[in-house]
Structure 1
């Protein structure tokens, strides 16, 4: 049998379509989106609230009690001091990967958060709707040991932040670390292409529709924050989005790109290949 390259043929109506797909392992190779330590202030059958963040649990959530023992979710009670790690579900809540009872109270006012910067002030920045203040004691760490400072923070940048809740309700950042913006979650896609149509809360690129909300970061070509109304049909944009429970995609960041081209570039996990069709 002659050896030959495997070619996937795509719809002829698409002039140029280049798909770069990342096959990912099922295991979570990357850190969770959020880690907080605090008292349980609200508690339901499959959810709890810590530091104002709502975490849901499922059969894959690791539940730990005293001395690290495995417990059922019904073990936890209001006001228990717990450490919770979770991933953003895209609807303002988180799916807990681990809930651990804190045997010895450390600092119940500590928060750890990873996300995109949506706004920046003279001594503060916002991530996921939370404002973090900095002071002379805040530690800044760059990627791969590179120098980093508050002045280098830009809207749209991915940061990992550790902070302490102050008596006045503010969060003071104790450590800010720049993160590589290439961590791929199983439900994350990245698409670059021309906006073909636009509604009041979504844009369409090729066969993809991306919805926006108040947390979506939208940047111009100079990485400056702009509004959704400033996006136009025909603009070339890079979109990063997460697949929602209803199978729609919610954009977390949209950035205007230069040099419009008649092509779409997609990065996502391949879910299925049947004949000439690829499902992502």
Structure 2
């Protein structure tokens, strides 16, 4: 199934128990509200569909996994309610991934910024190429990684999350990300990465669904309050994005 979203898409297909969910946007695979809605919906559906045994989350193209929130939509926010609604989109995707009873493998083929790092943090097993540098750029545009923060902190720890969030203009390379636990595997090229993803996905597709569902509950233990927590964080981001600082920074950094 393919859902068109403002010059981008969310495309889902299932083959031999493996459901692949791909998102795309011409501006660096950025995430507008509609794409976030479709991602949350497709992850929820796959998680509850008996034909799906394991999920692969990927993006289109070769150089950029995800450039984070859509700057066009950030600049179009005029009220706190609109801001909270937009950032709730990230909360909904992370919570859908958290509550999904199937393991989610992340295919990380390139650079990743902001909200995209949140997506990587919420997959259960991330396999990346050595080109997959990361950055949390939110502070540089007058907000902060509030909604995705709990997912990133859970994955890499408070110290590494704080370093990323504070030094918001500095890229960390893929080796740094792997050493901190964000990536489970690193590969020199896309072909090797895809081979490893295929191997793991096929193994999981033939593993016990009940055992994997119970394992996932254990891995995500202690996050049961995130439905409310991430909404509260979205409220903070929705307020800050209206500041004069944020508006100027967003316009200055908006991709052409």
Indicate the TM-score class for this superposition, using the shorter chain for normalisation. Answer: under 0.3
User: Bigger relative contact order, structure 1 or 2, given CA contacts below 8 A and separation 6+?
Assistant: 2
Structure with the higher fraction of residues in strand conformation? 1
Larger Rg: 1
With normalisation by structure 1, the TM-score equals: 0.22
